[in-house]
Amino acid sequence: MRVAVIGVGLTKFGEHWDTSFSRLFVEAGARAIEDAGIDGGDIDAIYVGNMSGGRFIDQEHISALIADHAGLNPVSSTRVEAACASGGLALRSAAMAILSGMHDIVVAGGVEKMTDVLTERTTQTLATAADQEWEAFLGMTFPGLYAVIARRHMYEFGTTREQLAMVSVKNHGNAIHNPYAQFHRKITVEDVLNSAMVADPLRLLDCSPITDGAACVILASEEKAKEFTDSPVYITGSGQASSTISLHDRERITVIDSTVNAGKEAYKRANVEAKDIQVAEVHDAFTIGEILAIEGLGFVELGRGGPATEEGITQIGGKIPVNTSGGLKAKGHPVGATGVAQAVEIVLQLRGEAEARQVDADIGLTHNVGGSGGTAVVHIFEKG
């Protein structure tokens, strides 16, 4: 049995001062339900990715809140948390619920509202995904952690400051064609290099923004999907792996081991290899993150991520288009929603509905990371 994606929905990503947390999820969910051609009574269960509603909006018990405000009681609803990989893990959990035979139609969604608190509070909240005793307590933030990784990658492999900037330039260029993206502005390498320093060598335009938003997909069993669509997109492989949270405990910090292992599992389950992937959405919370991802997933050799980016391999029209949505960098990064939003983009690409950013692809991949690599979730999607 395979799991089919029969509906997708997104909110605009950005700063939503006049919209509530629950309203964001309901909006994305309503769009996904409409896209799938189902109604609320068809839904068996809900899985919601959310990193930190308690710190961002002082709201826990997210799962019940979502079911209630969506008008879906008494459907079972479960919150899933894995830091910035919460959305990807919600998707995996929903797919597993169908594969188990327990449910036929399941909602997988993610939501985060990050702008209701001051930036200092947001930074502190995101830092809870790091090792509190050995990293956060000593003042390390995620820009700092990824800056350490970037510096080591530059030292080991000769990755240049300009190559990091090219990741951001590419993804901003893609986001211009995504109506749901937070940023619709082209930038240049010079813009990146001249932006404010955050944590050397990472500058402001190397870093993903603070974002509000929600994303939702409707999953169905292969048999049930036939009732609603003639052209489903299937999740044919899923992988999840863990690694040490803190950088100092890793054998090497220039490779995200959880990415490597989650990718291997997903490839094995889908019976494909890295060379078969034709479009990918990867976790580029920082520009070095995309370089680590394309190396860890096997799209390029270790250490070749920078040169590959410079050569245009990851651009639309390149050998393996990466982050056609604009990625976390330009589409936005509402942490609990990111993994599901990645799935929405790949489904649109495989359906041929990505409009100006469309690529020619039958097989796609999503890659969602929690923290600096403590968790990674990878999914393989194939056109039906």
Show the tokens assigned to 377: 């979730």
Show the tokens assigned to 266: 């997903």
Cα gap 91→343, rounded to integer Å: 9
Cα gap 334→331, rounded to integer Å: 10
DSSP sequence for 279-332? EEE---SBHHHHHHHHHHTTSS-TT-HHHHHHTTTTSTTSSS-B-TT-HHHHH-
Residue of 84, 103, 216, 367 marked active site: 84
DSSP element (H, E) containing 267? helix 257-270
Cα gap 65→241, rounded to integer Å: 29
What b/e string do you get for 226-260 counting C-beta neighbours within 10 Å, with b at 16 or more?
eebbeebbbbbbbbbbebebbbeebeebbbbbbbb
φ, ψ of residue 244 to 5 degrees: the values are -60, 140
333 among known catalytic residues: yes
Specify which residues 238 forms β-bridges with: 379
Non-local (6+) Cβ contacts of 383 within 8 A are 231, 233, 234, 350, 351, 361, 362, 363
Non-local (6+) Cβ contacts of 184 within 8 A are 175, 176
Residue of 103, 333, 367, 379 marked active site: 333
Cα gap 52→334, rounded to integer Å: 11
Residue carrying the six token digits 């976790």: 283
Specify which residues 363 forms β-bridges with: 382
Give the β-pairing of 197-199 and 45-49: unpaired
Specify which residues 258 forms β-bridges with: none
Tell me which residues are annotated as active site: 84, 333
